[in-house]
């Protein structure tokens, strides 16, 4: 049986680890990207790094060495770019590890070894799920901005501007993520990359089939000539019709998605409610072999049911 002194030490260690994870979050992940470095603001003063910065930089360096040549290990730079996160995979993995460690200590203090292991699995999975949500939101917003962007491009070209000048003007007038992608196209073409390759990379990075059509139309126009503004007008009309159908499908499938969310979340919510209401009854699941077997079976059945529901609520059109 643990003594009060040991429990107090464990609590203090857990709180310190949680604060360390928060500091790493603020220093590594949420650090401002547009800040002017000290070497430019005060050239005569040598830059001094704090111990936490040195520690995090060392950890990031070690992770980068381990990830060298393993671009698809858990997280990659392409996945972060699709989500719109301007960070490195090593930073994201470091934050994931710090969050899992802090969650494990917090779960151990609250419910013992079972909750510690549960938090180690849940926190990285939650961060990966949040990354997928950011990617989906960015893709949806990009698709919504595309028809208006095409209208701006055709208007600029009819006013006498070249295609690159029209893309540059659209990048300045639109919001992210469209402005970020168009600016990247302009910058890449300025350093000598082919316009078609840059646009194909944008369509692959954003997962937009509509933008792939736009890049194909521009590439065909560069080969055979013609009125590009008129071609882009027709492509924009087609994209608007597709977006309208996409909204109708989303509205019709919203009820199924809500039902799937309730069916998947209800057993989990009831399990934690049972822990809060009757702790002694819940210990059967968290401290005995039959309980672990029942939890594993329930998790397997929920996974199979979730996969089946995900296929039902994702109609293809």
Whether the CB-CB separation of 261 and 269 falls below 8 Å is answered with no
Gyration radius of the chain over CA positions: 26
Q: 212 and 316 share a domain?
A: no
Q: Is residue 310 part of a domain?
A: yes
CA distance 231 to 208: 19
Q: How many other C-beta atoms lie within 10 A of the C-beta of residue 231?
A: 16
Q: Is residue 91 part of a domain?
A: yes
Q: Is residue 298 part of a domain?
A: yes
Q: 161 and 189 share a domain?
A: yes
Q: 100 and 149 share a domain?
A: no
Closest alpha carbon to 186 in 206, 203, 172, 175:
172
Helices (H), the chain: 4-24, 38-41, 51-67, 77-83, 89-111, 113-158, 163-173, 178-190, 195-206, 209-224, 228-252, 254-277, 279-287, 289-312
Q: Report the number of distinct structural domains present in the chain.
A: 3
pLDDT value for 55 = 52
Could you list the beta-strand ranges (E) of 194-276. none
Whether the CB-CB separation of 120 and 40 falls below 8 Å is answered with no
Q: Is residue 121 part of a domain?
A: no
pLDDT in tens, the chain (317 residues): 455 555 556 665 666 666 666 665 655 555 555 455 555 655 554 555 555 555 555 555 555 555 555 555 567 778 888 888 887 777 788 788 888 888 888 877 776 777 778 788 888 888 888 888 898 899 889 988 998 899 898 888 888 888 889 988 888 888 888 988 999 999 999 898 888 888 888 888 888 888 988 888 888 888 887 788 888 888 888 888 888 888 888 888 888 888 888 888 888 888 878 777 877 777 777 777 888 888 888 888 888 888 888 777 776 65
Looking at residue 247, which CATH number applies to its domain?
A: 1.20.81.30
Q: What's the domain range around 278?
A: 255-317
pLDDT value for 67 = 55
CA distance 216 to 135: 24
Q: Is residue 186 part of a domain?
A: yes
pLDDT value for 60 = 52
Q: 206 and 107 share a domain?
A: no
pLDDT value for 187 = 92
């Amino acid at each position: 049986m643990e003594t009060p002194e040991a429990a107090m030490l464990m609590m203090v260690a857990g709180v310190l680890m949680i604060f360390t994870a928060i500091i790493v979050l603020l220093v590594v992940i949420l650090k401002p990207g547009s800040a002017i470095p000290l070497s430019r603001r005060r050239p005569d003063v040598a830059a001094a790094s704090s111990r936490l910065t040195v520690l995090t930089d060392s950890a990031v360096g070690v992770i980068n060495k381990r990830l060298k040549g393993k671009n698809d290990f858990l997280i990659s730079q392409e996945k972060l770019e699709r989500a719109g996160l301007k960070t490195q995979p090593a930073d994201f993995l470091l934050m994931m590890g710090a969050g899992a460690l802090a969650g494990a200590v917090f779960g151990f203090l609250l419910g013992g070894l079972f909750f510690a292991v549960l938090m180690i699995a849940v926190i990285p999975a939650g961060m990966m799920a949040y990354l997928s949500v950011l990617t989906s939101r960015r893709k949806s917003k990009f698709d919504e901005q595309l028809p208006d962007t095409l209208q701006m491009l055709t208007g600029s070209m009819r006013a006498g501007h070249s295609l690159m000048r029209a893309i540059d003007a659209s990048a300045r007038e639109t919001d992210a993520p469209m402005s970020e992608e168009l600016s990247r196209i302009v910058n890449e073409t300025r350093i000598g990359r082919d316009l078609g390759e840059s646009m194909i990379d944008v369509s692959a990075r954003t997962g937009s089939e509509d933008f792939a059509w736009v890049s194909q139309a521009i590439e065909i126009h560069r080969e055979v000539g013609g009125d590009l503004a008129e071609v882009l007008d027709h492509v924009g009309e087609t994209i608007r019709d597709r977006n309208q159908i996409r909204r109708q499908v989303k509205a019709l499938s919203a009820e199924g998605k809500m039902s799937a969310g309730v069916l998947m979340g209800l057993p989990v919510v009831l399990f934690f409610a049972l822990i809060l209401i009757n702790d002694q009854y819940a210990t059967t699941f968290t401290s005995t072999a039959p309980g672990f077997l029942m939890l594993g079976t329930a998790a397997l059945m929920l996974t199979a049911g979730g996969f089946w529901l995900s296929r039902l609520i994702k109609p293809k059109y």
